[in-house]
Structure 1
Amino acid sequence: MDLILVRLAARWSAIVLAGIGELPINCMHIQYSVNLMKRVTLYSHGVAAGFPSPADDHKEKSLSLDQHLITHPAATFMARANGDSMQGLGIFDRDLLVVDRSLTPVHGDVVVVALDGQLTCKVLDRHHGRLLSANDRYPPIPVWEGQELIVEGVVKASIRYHRPS
């Protein structure tokens, strides 16, 4: 990734990337390359969560996570989730979000938005003009006329670490 410089933007710290523009400091842009990810073995048979299975008999092919998760490399970035407002959809604190800027957001999509300059991850409710959490402890966020709402991208996937490094 070619970092040009880090500077303080008007509302938050940003990283200026070659040919990309500014991204919030808590977002990471993925520079796509076939050589980025090592290919790992993919088993065609599900892994039993109960009794063991002879899984070696079911090796299918290799899988590259960047090719599996990133459809539009030039428009994809990752951001780390903060908080518990999206737990109902399986997005937990510190999970990595794979966000695609090239997708047109539709009703019900999980999106990363800047609402009046504040980044948040919510469910887009186009029918009622609001943003929804996936946790009953958080009320819907209405989007009023005149508010600045910028959809940064659609969350395609989230990645959770079960053993922190």
Structure 2
Amino acid sequence: MKEKSLEFFKINTINAEKKIIPFVGGIQAGFPSAADDFYTERIDLNKELIKDPETTFLARVRGDSMKDMRIFNGDLILVDRSLEPKDGNIAVCYIDGEFTLKKLKIIKQEGKVTQIHLLPQNPAYDPIIVTPENEFIIWGILTYNITHYL
């Protein structure tokens, strides 16, 4: 059985107040700073990261075709289905019965889309050129990537 390239999850915004976590503002990337007033406020990641809970989904990435964009196997991505696709977006696409995450190359002539290329961000993979014969939709646009570094 072929492994799924993306695994989707609906965002749970019920009881969001229980998901509010401490927020440390202004972490220094240079010299360390004093840790006085370490927890300055609390932050709700639903409000911070999700514009529309009805059109936003979490997905777990499977595979390494986007590694040069720092999107790795096992990462969680936030995908918004309400956003209009644009050239250069990272998008979840449905092509010929499978989901894939790729960079969009949208070619237009006289304001009309003439061709779409799905570009992996790993030289080990070939671009996918969408043709009229493909069953194809741009399912949603990546808004955030959550990488686990440990």
User: Which gives a bigger RCO, structure 1 or 2 (Cα 8 Å, sep 6+)?
Assistant: 2
Shift of 1:122: 0.3
The 1:35–1:129 alpha-carbon spacing in structure 2 relative to 1, beyond 3 Å, is closer
Is 1:132–1:141's contact at 8 Å kept on the other side of the alignment?
yes
Aligned position for 1:162:
149
Where in structure 2 are the equivalents of 1:28-107 lying within 5 Å?
28-33=9-14, 35=16, 37-48=18-29, 51-57=31-37, 59-107=39-87
- The secondary structure found in structure 2 opposite 1:67 is helix
In the superposition, the TM-score normalised over structure 1's length comes to 0.74
Shift of 1:131: 0.3
> Larger deviation: 125-134 or 27-36?
27-36
Q: Percent identity?
A: 36
Q: Which amino acid aligns with 1:161?
A: H
Aligned position for 2:124:
137
Shift of 1:41: 2.5
What is the root-mean-square deviation in Å for CA atoms of aligned residues? Answer: 2.4
Q: Which amino acid aligns with 1:116?
A: D
In 1, Cα distance between equivalents of 2:36 and 2:101 = 39
In 2, Cα distance between equivalents of 1:135 and 1:55 = 40
- The secondary structure found in structure 1 opposite 2:19 is coil
In 2, Cα distance between equivalents of 1:121 and 1:71 = 21
In 2, Cα distance between equivalents of 1:119 and 1:137 = 19
Aligned position for 2:94:
114
Shift of 1:45: 1.8
Unaligned 5+ segments in structure 2 are 108-114
In 1, Cα distance between equivalents of 2:17 and 2:124 = 39
Task: Report the number of matched residues.
Answer: 140
Unaligned 5+ segments in structure 1 are 1-12, 14-24
In 1, Cα distance between equivalents of 2:18 and 2:142 = 20
Q: Which amino acid aligns with 2:81?
A: R
Q: Which amino acid aligns with 1:91?
A: I
The 1:37–1:105 alpha-carbon spacing in structure 2 relative to 1, beyond 3 Å, is farther
